[in-house]
Amino acid sequence: MSTTTSIHGMWSSRLMFILAATGSAVGLGNIWRFPYMTSDNGGGAFVLVYLACIALVGLPILMAEVLIGRHGRMSPINTLRNLARDSGTGRAWVGIGWIGIVAGILILSFYSVVAGWTLHYAWRYLKQLFGGAGITDPGATFSALLADPLELTFWHALFMLLTVAVVAMGVEKGLERAVRFLMPALFLLLLALVGYGLSTGYMGQAISFLFRPDWSEIDGNVFLRAMGQAFFSLSLGMCTMMTYGAYLPREGVSIPRVGIAVALTDTAVALLAGMAIFPIVLSFGLDPAGGGPGLIFTSLPLAFAAMSIGALYGLLFFGLLSVAAWTSSISLLEPATAFLVEKFGVKRRKVAALSMAGLCWLLGLLSVLSLNVWSHVRIFGRDIMGFIELVANDIMLPLGGLMIALFTGWVLNRTLLREQLSDMPEALFTTWRWLLRVVAPLLVLVVLVRALA
Ligand code: PFF
């Protein structure tokens, strides 16, 4: 039998878990990364491969992570160690937890830098509301921001402080409060922007860019990026969902249902972001392809400048995006923090959360510098930030996910799985298990091998 509570605290209700897991999933990945990845990787073909990855690989692994977490009740490394021991297999599986911690640190390092951009934009619009100058040339504004290491470092530091403040307070006091109101507000604002997109008359073209596949654009690299994006967007492969699952009550919570709710919301937000951004890009005569990481920062301000209450829209949009990034970064920091608390018995508040955040902040300076002073440095053809992103998102997350799928599918016994998934009809259970045993691992493996070979 699994234990019923975790030493780190528990979600107060099923809804809180759904909000927190959705808060983790929905973030810069949906609104900043998904549109520009789509833009850079051929539009509709990328989107369709991405959706297939979510359905065949992402959702089954999401359920597996939550299930393992709820059974084990500890931080991923200790949960996996206990499970491997109880199942009589080797300790190599504990490596999943280590991949997770390293990937989390790498991802948070650049995530916080980009979240700093959104804070900076929210601040700009706030100043505009009070009479400051508006953003009239978004391209130049964005380039000026990236060229200024001190400015970037300031916002990166501020964002990391916000993150560590919540994680330090722990599950009930910190994480729950942050997600309750802000996620629904972001959703509504995105809908409003889609409404604006409709009014531009370019929605049809945007939809066809997003959904009409041009298969000639597809190569191994596009598959790798779509798979990486699916893992990144659903917060999978680095034991985040496992950690959140550890705080999930046993009674009255169906893992398949919450898994589907989180996956659907996450996908809906990404698609809505695409439907908000591409009509604007097209209506201002910009090329929807090849937008790069600056896409939302250079396109949306064009629309805000054209609206009568654009400054307010800008403030709300970048403010809420900062919040979405915040609820995700909290979940990036939580697994490593919980592990430090368990392993060394250190205080969550003063030691564990702070030292991990400090490490991520320092590493983030590499990304800051790669945007200006070290912009000439190339590793495998990418700048430093792009390289960290590639290694962590597109390689480590799928690799972690692959191992989680194999571990759940082949090592964990049926009784344990059934105990956690008692409400799942037999046919669906069997399908899910074979997706984990064969389909997901094969897809991830083929994509990794093809892209890296
Ligand atoms: N899912 C988040 C986003 O889409 O922005 C990013 C993320 C959070 C990735 C937590 C991984 C993770 F463990």
Helices (H) and strands (E) counted in the chain, each on its own, are: 23, 0
114 lines ligand 1 (CB under 6 A): no
Which residue matches tokens 């802000």? Answer: 182
332 lines ligand 1 (CB under 6 A): yes
Q: How far does the centroid of ligand 1 lie from the alpha carbon of residue 428, in Å?
A: 27
In ligand 1, the atom with minimum distance to the C-alpha of 397 is: 11
233 lines ligand 1 (CB under 6 A): yes
128 lines ligand 1 (CB under 6 A): no
Using a 10 angstrom Cβ sphere, with 0-12 exposed, 13-18 middle and 19 or more buried, the burial of residue 181 is exposed
Q: How far does the centroid of ligand 1 lie from the alpha carbon of residue 19, in Å?
A: 14
CB 62 within 8 A of CB 239: no
163 lines ligand 1 (CB under 6 A): no
Ligand 1, atom 10: nearest CA belongs to which residue?
Answer: 235
Q: Which CATH number fits domain 14-452: 3.30.70, 3.30.420, 1.10.4160, 1.10.357?
A: 1.10.4160
Please give the Cα distance from 108 to 66 (Å, whole number).
21
The angle at the Cα of 225, spanning 101 to 372, to the nearest 5 degrees, equals 75
| Tokens of residue 181, six digits | 């109101």
Widest distance between CA atoms in the chain: 67
Please give the Cα distance from 418 to 413 (Å, whole number).
9
Q: How far does the centroid of ligand 1 lie from the alpha carbon of residue 24, in Å?
A: 6
21 lines ligand 1 (CB under 6 A): no
pLDDT for position 1: 43
Per-residue pLDDT of the chain (453 residues; tens, 9 = 90+): 456 778 887 878 888 888 889 999 999 999 999 999 999 998 999 999 999 999 999 999 999 999 999 999 988 899 999 999 999 888 899 999 999 999 999 999 999 999 999 999 999 999 999 998 989 999 999 999 999 999 999 999 999 999 998 888 766 666 677 677 777 888 888 999 999 999 999 999 999 999 998 888 788 888 889 999 999 999 999 999 999 999 898 877 899 999 999 999 999 999 999 999 999 999 999 889 888 899 999 999 998 998 888 999 899 899 989 989 998 998 999 888 888 888 888 887 778 889 999 999 999 999 999 999 999 999 999 999 999 999 999 899 999 999 999 999 999 999 999 999 999 999 999 999 999 999 999 999 998 888 777
122 lines ligand 1 (CB under 6 A): no
Ligand 1, atom 12: nearest CA belongs to which residue?
Answer: 235
In ligand 1, the atom with minimum distance to the C-alpha of 328 is: 8
DSSP bridge pairs for 379: 382
| Tokens of residue 311, six digits | 């400054």
Q: How far does the centroid of ligand 1 lie from the alpha carbon of residue 137, in Å?
A: 30
Please give the Cα distance from 376 to 274 (Å, whole number).
31
